[in-house]
């Protein structure tokens, strides 16, 4: 499934294999291997590909047909609160929180805001304990 999706997304974005390879820091032959030989990238490369194509890693791997990147759904839910959006952007870069993104995929907007607020409270409590 990965080889089909990576090729489809590359073509949709009008990228050559070389252009995509340059974007993720690999050789063109690596992209060709993904598309024709069924090779799969490591975790860091998979994340880069998901970011470039603005899809979830689960979509790339064929675990879901939902292209939506969970992080986009969250950003949309909190877009009216700049402080909260900045906080989320910082959190979303943490590899240890990638599981959280997967778990929020199907939550309604209100539940996503609740989860983020809980995380903020935990962070504030931890900060108070250390001061």
DSSP collapsed to 3 states, 81-114: CHHHHHHHHHHHCCHHHHHHHHHHCCCCHHHHHH
pLDDT tens, residue by residue, 23-63: 999 999 999 999 998 788 888 898 889 888 888 888 888 88
Q: What is the DSSP secondary-structure string of 6-32?
A: HHHHHHHTT--HHHHHHHHT--HHHHH
Report the predicted TM-score, pTM, of the whole model to 2 decimal places. 0.56
Q: What is the mean pLDDT of residues 2-23?
A: 92
Q: Which pLDDT value is given to residue 78?
A: 79
Distance CA 8, CA 57 (A): 15
Q: Region 86-92: what's the mean pLDDT? A: 76
Q: Where along the chain do its domains lie?
A: 1-61, 70-129
Assigned token pair, 7: 């090729």
Q: What is the pLDDT of residue 104?
A: 74
Please report the pLDDT score of residue 89 as a whole number.
74
Q: Are 43 and 32 in contact (CB under 8 A)?
A: no
Give me the CATH topology for the region 1-61: 434 Repressor (Amino-terminal Domain) (1.10.260)
């Amino acid at each position: 499934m990965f080889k089909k999706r990576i090729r489809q997304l590359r073509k949709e974005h009008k990228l050559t294999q070389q252009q995509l390879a340059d974007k993720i820091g690999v050789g063109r032959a690596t992209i060709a291997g993904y598309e024709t030989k069924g090779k799969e990238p490591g975790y860091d490369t998979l994340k880069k590909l998901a970011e470039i194509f603005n899809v979830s890693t689960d979509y790339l791997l064929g675990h879901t047909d939902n292209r939506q990147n969970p992080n986009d759904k969250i950003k949309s839910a909190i877009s009216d609160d700049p402080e909260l959006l900045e906080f989320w952007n910082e959190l979303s870069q943490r590899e240890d929180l990638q599981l959280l993104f997967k778990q929020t995929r199907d939550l309604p907007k209100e539940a996503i805001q609740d989860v983020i607020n809980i995380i903020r409270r935990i962070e504030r409590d931890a900060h108070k304990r250390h001061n």
